[in-house]
């Protein structure tokens, strides 16, 4: 049985509140879980101490037993100093998609042709005169 340390949603519509739980990986998000190790309230400001509450001893014990945290929970654990989260780097993320690159290339080609035509039109009357 593989264990996950993940968020289980609670709260009401448009007022999210999450419990940090230990659950079987196959269990549904808000379904059966084994233990609660903390809570997360995204409605509070980011600098609030009440935003993330984590029982560090319980979390460390479950990590030793092999529970794998999700990315969001791993951020909380990293901030608490329980587990190191490697920084991610995706330099391709900021680049435009393939279709947009094709459109930009076509627009650049059209602009270059228009500039050539304008230069040729400007040079033709000067040659005649």
Q: Residue 88's pLDDT is what?
A: 82
Return the H-helix or E-strand segment holding 12.
Answer: strand 3-12
Are 18 and 72 in a shared domain? yes
**Domain count within the chain:** 2
C-alpha to C-alpha distance for 7 and 72, rounded to whole angstroms? 8
C-alpha to C-alpha distance for 120 and 84, rounded to whole angstroms? 63
Are 75 and 103 in a shared domain? no
Q: Residue 92's pLDDT is what?
A: 84
CATH code for the domain of 29: 3.30.1320.10
Are 44 and 66 in a shared domain? yes
Are 113 and 74 in a shared domain? no
Question: In this structure, is residue 21 part of a structural domain?
Answer: yes
Q: Is the distance from CB of 27 to CB of 33 less than 8 angstroms?
A: yes
Q: Residue 37's pLDDT is what?
A: 96
Are 74 and 116 in a shared domain? no
Q: Residue 128's pLDDT is what?
A: 61
3-state secondary structure of 22: strand
Are 75 and 17 in a shared domain? yes
Question: In this structure, is residue 88 part of a structural domain?
Answer: no
Question: In terms of residue numbers, what domain contains 13?
Answer: 3-80
Question: In this structure, is residue 120 part of a structural domain?
Answer: yes
Are 74 and 15 in a shared domain? yes
Percent of the chain with pLDDT over 90: 74
Give pLDDT tens digits for 67-104: 999 999 999 999 999 999 888 888 888 888 899 999 99
Are 70 and 11 in a shared domain? yes
Sequence-ordered list of residues with C-beta below 8 angstroms from that of 92, at least 6 positions apart, any chain: none
Place of tokens 């968020």: 7
Are 14 and 76 in a shared domain? yes
User: What average pLDDT does range 26-51 have in this prediction?
Assistant: 93
> Quick check: 41 pLDDT over 90?
yes
Sequence-ordered list of residues with C-beta below 8 angstroms from that of 107, at least 6 positions apart, any chain: none
Return the H-helix or E-strand segment holding 69.
Answer: strand 68-69
Question: In this structure, is residue 32 part of a structural domain?
Answer: yes
Q: Residue 126's pLDDT is what?
A: 60
C-alpha to C-alpha distance for 19 and 40, rounded to whole angstroms? 6
DSSP 51: S
Q: What are phi and psi of 28, to 5 degrees?
A: -65, 160
pTM above 0.75, yes or no: no
């Amino acid at each position: 049985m593989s264990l996950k340390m993940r968020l289980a949603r609670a709260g009401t519509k448009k007022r999210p509140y999450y419990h940090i739980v230990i659950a079987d990986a196959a269990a549904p998000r808000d379904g059966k879980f084994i233990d609660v190790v903390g809570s997360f309230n995204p409605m509070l400001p980011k600098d609030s101490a009440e935003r993330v509450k984590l029982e560090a001893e319980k979390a460390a014990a479950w990590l030793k037993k092999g529970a794998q945290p999700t990315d969001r929970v791993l951020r909380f654990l990293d901030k608490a100093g329980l587990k190191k989260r490697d920084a991610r780097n995706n330099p391709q993320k900021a680049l435009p998609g393939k279709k947009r690159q094709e459109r930009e290339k076509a627009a650049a080609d059209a602009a270059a042709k228009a500039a050539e035509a304008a230069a040729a039109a400007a040079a033709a009357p000067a040659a005649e005169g």
